[in-house]
């Protein structure tokens, strides 16, 4: 799909295309009233939930805490490995899950609880993908794949058992949280949401909050870790890009020999942003947006969209459009610098759509700003701490593995060489 068509629908007719189709079978079976930011239909409830999601702040202390844990894990893996060879994909995912769980719940979870939640989340995603045929043939699936279905339901109950005590404890301590001005969290925002219903206003029930917290953790961790994996794989494969990025960091840091590249420094790094944008263009974490629908017939760029039609947008194909991107299959961050075809790119799509890894219009990802900051911050610090070297005989392969997020079919290996400042 061409970008101008997506803009005509998602931006110029944003309200009409902000609707969601009815939830599919797995969503209905696992969801509690299907109250999630992604799946709630456009309207007052969705606005309240989106506002709560967008209220989450990524505080500097949380970023640095997660970064130090990530660097420690990478260092330990490198020291323990033969010739410092590391497969960092799962290390990335665990570090980001640790960060986003802190933002979600406002406190560090006990290690056993943290990884039990992670295990349940990963299990639910894996089984939901395997049972996607349930959305078309639910009765057959319940007969043929009943063991998987039982396992999926058990995992969902396990998630309730893990998260509901956390929700109750945070709810009891809301006044103390406000008084001591502890880090505001997504959970804090959800605890004060009031939904306007026909007869009365009501707070979210615990199972709905579990759904929303689960969505927050999945959406933030899986997409961000996939994007980080692709970006770092390309930096390993193209050392000249990595060297250019390190030179920019050194220039901005100047006489500051700190091992931590801070947010203020990150904001000054144009090539760093270009590297992240190129990663998102070439390897968007999702190849398709979540489906949209229209309540009445619409016309978009000469196409008639009938009432009730389900519409989707091919994100990956936009990033490969040779009419927009020169040598589109090449990883070349310079295209986002001055004079390049991506110069001044507007990720919101308001000024035009050339790529849209975060969607566009009313359904633009509410976590876009946070995701961009996390990616730039982590990438800058990873290449500032280590030189990422391709392992001879185990070259980086950029084949994709389809799924809810598009990861690497063959997770990359790299040799980590600590830098001396």
DSSP 95-162: HHHHHHHHHHHSSPPPHHHHHHHHHHHHHHHHHHHHTGGGGT-HHHHHHHTHHHHHHHHHHHHHHHHH
Q: What backbone torsions phi and psi does residue 292 show, to the nearest 5 degrees?
A: -110, 160
Residues 104/62, Cβ–Cβ less than 8 Å: no
Which H, E and C letters describe 348-402, residue by residue?
Answer: CCCCCCCCCCCCCHHHCCCCHHHHHHHHHHHHHHHHHHEEEEECCCCCCCCCEEC
- 365 assigned to a ligand binding site: yes
All residues at 6 or more sequence positions from 308 whose CB lies less than 8 Å from its CB, including other chains: 293, 294, 295
Sign of CA dihedral 248, 253, 257, 260: negative
Residues 34/28, Cβ–Cβ less than 8 Å: yes
Report the DSSP beta bridge partners of residue 401.
407
User: What count of other Cβ atoms lies within 10 Å of the Cβ of residue 180?
Assistant: 8
DSSP class of residue 333? G
All residues at 6 or more sequence positions from 56 whose CB lies less than 8 Å from its CB, including other chains: 103, 104, 184, 185, 186, 189, 216, 367, 370
All residues at 6 or more sequence positions from 260 whose CB lies less than 8 Å from its CB, including other chains: 64, 67, 381
Q: Give CA–CA dist 221/169, Å, rounded.
A: 24
DSSP 316-327: HHHHT-TTTSTT
Residues 13/189, Cβ–Cβ less than 8 Å: no
Residues 3/324, Cβ–Cβ less than 8 Å: yes
Q: Residues marked as binding?
A: 365
Q: Residues marked as binding for heme?
A: 365
């Amino acid at each position: 799909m061409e970008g101008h068509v997506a803009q005509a629908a998602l931006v110029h007719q944003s309200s009409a295309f902000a609707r969601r189709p009815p939830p599919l079978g797995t969503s209905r079976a696992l969801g509690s009233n299907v109250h999630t930011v992604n799946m709630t239909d456009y309207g007052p409830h969705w606005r309240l939930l989106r506002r709560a999601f967008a209220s989450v702040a990524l505080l500097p202390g949380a970023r640095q805490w997660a970064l130090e844990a990530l660097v420690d894990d990478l260092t330990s893996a490198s020291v323990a490995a033969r010739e410092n060879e590391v497969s960092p994909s799962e290390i990335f995912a665990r570090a980001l899950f640790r960060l986003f769980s802190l933002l979600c719940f406002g406190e560090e979870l006990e290690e056993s609880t943290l990884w039990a939640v992670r295990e349940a989340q990963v299990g639910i995603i894996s089984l939901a993908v395997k049972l996607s045929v349930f959305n078309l043939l639910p009765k057959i699936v319940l007969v043929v794949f009943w063991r998987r279905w039982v396992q999926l339901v058990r995992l969902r109950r396990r998630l309730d058992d893990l998260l509901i005590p956390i929700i109750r404890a945070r709810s009891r301590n809301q006044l103390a949280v406000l008084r001591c001005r502890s880090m505001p969290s997504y959970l804090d925002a959800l605890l004060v949401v009031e939904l306007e219903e026909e007869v009365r206003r009501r707070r979210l029930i615990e199972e709905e909050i579990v759904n929303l917290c689960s969505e927050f953790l999945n959406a933030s961790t899986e997409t961000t870790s996939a994007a980080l994996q692709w970006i770092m794989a390309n930096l390993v494969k193209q050392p000249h890009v990595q060297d250019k990025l390190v030179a920019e960091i050194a220039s901005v840091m100047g006489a500051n020999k700190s091992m931590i590249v801070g947010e203020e420094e990150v904001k000054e790094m144009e090539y760093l942003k270009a590297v992240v944008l190129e990663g998102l263009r070439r390897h968007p974490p999702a190849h398709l947006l979540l489906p949209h629908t229209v309540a009445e017939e619409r016309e978009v760029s000469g196409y008639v969209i009938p009432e009730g039609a389900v519409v989707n947008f091919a994100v990956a194909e936009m990033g490969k459009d040779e009419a927009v991107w020169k040598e589109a299959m090449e990883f070349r961050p310079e295209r986002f610098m001055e004079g390049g075809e991506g110069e001044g790119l507007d990720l919101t799509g308001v000024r035009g759509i050339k790529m849209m890894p975060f969607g566009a219009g009313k359904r633009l990802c509410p976590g876009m700003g946070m995701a961009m900051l996390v990616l730039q911050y982590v990438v800058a610090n990873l290449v500032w701490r280590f030189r990422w070297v391709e392992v001879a005989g185990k070259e980086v392969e950029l084949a994709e593995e389809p799924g809810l997020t598009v990861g690497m079919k063959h997770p990359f290996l790299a040799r980590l060489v600590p830098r001396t400042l």
